Amino acid sequence: MKQLLKTLTETFAPSGYEDAVRKVILKEVKPLADEVSVDALGNLIVRKKPAAGAKNPKKIMLAAHMDEIGVIVSHIDKKGFARFTNIGGTFGRYTLGARVRFLNGVTGVVGYDRLEQVDNTIPINKMYIDVGATSKENCPVKVGDVAAFDRSYIEMGERIVAKSLDDRSGVIVLIETLRAIKSTPNDLYFVFTTQEEVGTRGAGTAAFGVNPDIGIAVDVTPTGDTPSSLKMVMELGKGPCVKFRDVGMISDPRVVDWMIQTAEKAKLPYQREVLLVGSTDAREIQITRAGVMTGALSIPVRYVHSASEMVDYNDLKNSVKLLTEMLKKPVSF
């Protein structure tokens, strides 16, 4: 599980450019699936059919997004410095000084225009990427080229630190859940979505195509366990979080109860999540077609949308256990 997570996080796949990570995922899931397809937006849709004789199986869609935040070149000056804008929630406080890697393999360092007060928060329109060029003519990147943070995976005890744990954490939880479920009375669709970071776009088209009875997004959630953080109860190492509400959606109480009752019966740790910032693919799944009863399972993460996001390995393992317990039995509502 850790080796696969290392591979997933060190693969570069900003929103709209998910091909590389989709290939990694496809290699893992194809032997486990009954059907595999890729839709027009690049969502990878993996079906596990209900066991023979299952009565009135529920169609359940589980979604984890493949894409990560990034940057895109908007201008190159005469000295070869590349100006850029964001793809998704790329924040200035995390971007300054970062190394980035372009999809063509070129690396760069993010610098900034001179400011009178260097401690000021710097917007990304005051930054540039230095790729080692000396002129516009020998600059190895062009306007429209995209990049993501360049940072290797490391382990710190039970804590894992890497770029793009949002949401390669959710991706690996879905892969390992699919691996763990040998038989199910439900009709399961494991969907690895595109373009979540720029507006949950892939989840919307995928949900429209799947037309599920129940939707569950598996994503990360910021924690409230660091100094001077927002007053939220989510902590690393205390188990997966059952979402009640975020900025974009309110979870269906039936899905919330199903998740909590399953966790308690299986004696698995869980946390109750009310998220004060951000949303997930669940927002888009919930309002597709005539509406879908939807919830979300969240993995606690520190330093979200930085090059060094942090999760607890036990939270990943317990997320897999909880989903496996939920999906291997008939749904009664």
Closest CA to 62 of 197, 172, 160: 172
The model carries a pTM of 0.94
> What are the structural domain ranges in the chain?
2-68+163-327, 70-149
Distance CA 188, CA 217 (A): 13
Please state whether beta strands 99-102 and 107-112 pair in parallel, antiparallel, or not at all (unpaired).
Answer: antiparallel
Return the CATH number of the domain spanning residue range 70-149. Answer: 2.40.30.40
User: Is 264 among the catalytic positions?
Assistant: no
Strand order in the sheet with 159-162: 154-156, 159-162, 309-312
Rounded to 10 degrees, what is the CA torsion of 49, 52, 57, 62? -20
pLDDT, averaged across the chain: 94
- Note the pLDDT of residue 118: 60
- Note the pLDDT of residue 52: 86
Phi, psi dihedrals of residue 44, rounded to the nearest 5°:
-95, 115
- Note the pLDDT of residue 59: 97
- Spell out, as residue ranges, where the chain has pLDDT lower than 50: none
Distance CA 76, CA 155 (A): 37
Name the burial class of residue 239, with classes exposed (0-12), middle (13-18) and buried (19+) by CB atoms within 10 angstroms of its CB.
buried
The DSSP element (H or E) to which 225 belongs, if any, is none
Neighbours of 159 (CB within 10 A): 15
What tokens were used for 219?
Answer: 């994503």
- The per-residue pLDDT for range 201-242, each reduced to its tens digit, is 999 999 999 999 999 999 999 998 888 777 888 899 999 999
- Note the pLDDT of residue 288: 96
What tokens were used for 111?
Answer: 């610098």
- Note the pLDDT of residue 115: 64
Return the CATH number of the domain spanning residue range 2-68+163-327. Answer: 3.40.630.10
- Note the pLDDT of residue 113: 81
Residue in 176, 196, 197, 284 annotated catalytic: 196
- Note the pLDDT of residue 119: 63
Q: Are 193 and 65 in contact (CB under 8 A)?
A: yes
Name the burial class of residue 113, with classes exposed (0-12), middle (13-18) and buried (19+) by CB atoms within 10 angstroms of its CB.
exposed
**H/E/C letters for each residue in 156-192?**
ECCEEEECCHHHHHHHHHHHHHHHHCCCCCCEEEEEE
- Note the pLDDT of residue 224: 84
